[in-house]
């Protein structure tokens, strides 16, 4: 099972070269859950967002999952963030995914799509509060490009 930014850049080729059974390119949150459901159920892999899989000697690739608005869980309780932080980590969070620019060296437009897909600012603030409550006070913005689009395009910001 493959996924992630590097994988998403060359999804079909990497599945072919590695011999892996499945890959998900693009966002992974919904596709992974859908894949588990299909593996336990009717195995309709064409219904799994972003899935790349093998079909009778060839490969089939569904369109990547790049939802226009990104909404994520905010509790940050899936792993022991404080332990990672004590060992020298930092708390990553996202305010958007994707980028409309085309800088030659950059993986983000290929892996996360060619549009800035924003999160609700309230959701972002809740997530940062959850990290701070765990003592994680060094934060890393994991956006493609924080400055695109500018603040006036956020739906909640009025001039």
With CB under 5 to 8 Å by kind, the binding choice for 89 among ligand SF4, ligand B12, none is: ligand B12
Give min distance, CB of 144 to ligand SF4, in A: 4
Adjacent-strand bridge partners of 91? 139
- Do 95 and 142 meet the contact criterion of CB atoms below 8 Å apart? no
Site string for ligand SF4, 67-106 (x = CB under 6 A): --------------------------------x-x-x--x
Give min distance, CB of 99 to ligand SF4, in A: 3
With CB under 5 to 8 Å by kind, the binding choice for 127 among ligand B12, ligand SF4, none is: none
Query: In whole angstroms, how far apart are CA 89 and each of 80, 85, 95, 131, 137?
Result: 12, 4, 20, 12, 10
With CB under 5 to 8 Å by kind, the binding choice for 103 among ligand B12, ligand SF4, none is: ligand SF4
Q: Does 145 bind ligand SF4 (CB under 6 A)?
A: yes
- Do 78 and 29 meet the contact criterion of CB atoms below 8 Å apart? no
Q: Which of 147/158 has CB closer to ligand B12?
A: 147
Site residues for ligand B12 per CB under 6 A = 1-6, 8-9, 24, 27-29, 32, 89, 92, 94, 106-108, 140, 142, 144
Query: In whole angstroms, how far apart are CA 58 and each of 9, 22, 46, 49, 54?
Result: 19, 13, 14, 19, 6
Smallest Cα–Cα separation from 127: which of 117, 115, 140, 114? 140
When binding is defined by CB under 6 A, the residue of 3, 26, 91, 109 that contacts ligand SF4 is 109
Q: Which residue is nearest to ligand B12 (CB)?
A: 3
Report whether the peptide linkage leading into residue 149 is cis, meaning its omega lies within 30 degrees of zero.
yes
Q: DSSP label at 21? A: S
């Amino acid at each position: 099972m493959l996924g992630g930014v590097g994988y998403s850049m060359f999804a079909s080729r990497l599945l072919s070269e590695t011999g892996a059974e499945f890959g998900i390119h693009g966002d992974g949150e919904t596709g992974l859950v859908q894949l588990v459901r299909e593996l336990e159920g009717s195995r309709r892999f064409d219904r799994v967002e972003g899935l790349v899989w093998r079909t009778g000697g060839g490969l089939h690739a569904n369109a990547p999952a790049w939802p226009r608005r990104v909404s994520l869980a905010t509790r940050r309780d899936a792993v022991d963030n404080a332990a990672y932080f004590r060992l020298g980590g930092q708390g990553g969070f996202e305010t958007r995914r994707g980028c409309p620019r085309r800088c030659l060296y950059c993986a983000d437009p290929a892996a996360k799509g060619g549009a800035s897909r924003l999160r609700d600012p309230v959701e972002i603030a809740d997530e940062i509060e959850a990290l701070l409550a765990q003592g994680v006070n060094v934060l890393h913005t994991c956006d493609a490009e924080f400055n695109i689009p500018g603040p006036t395009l956020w739906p909640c910001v009025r001039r």
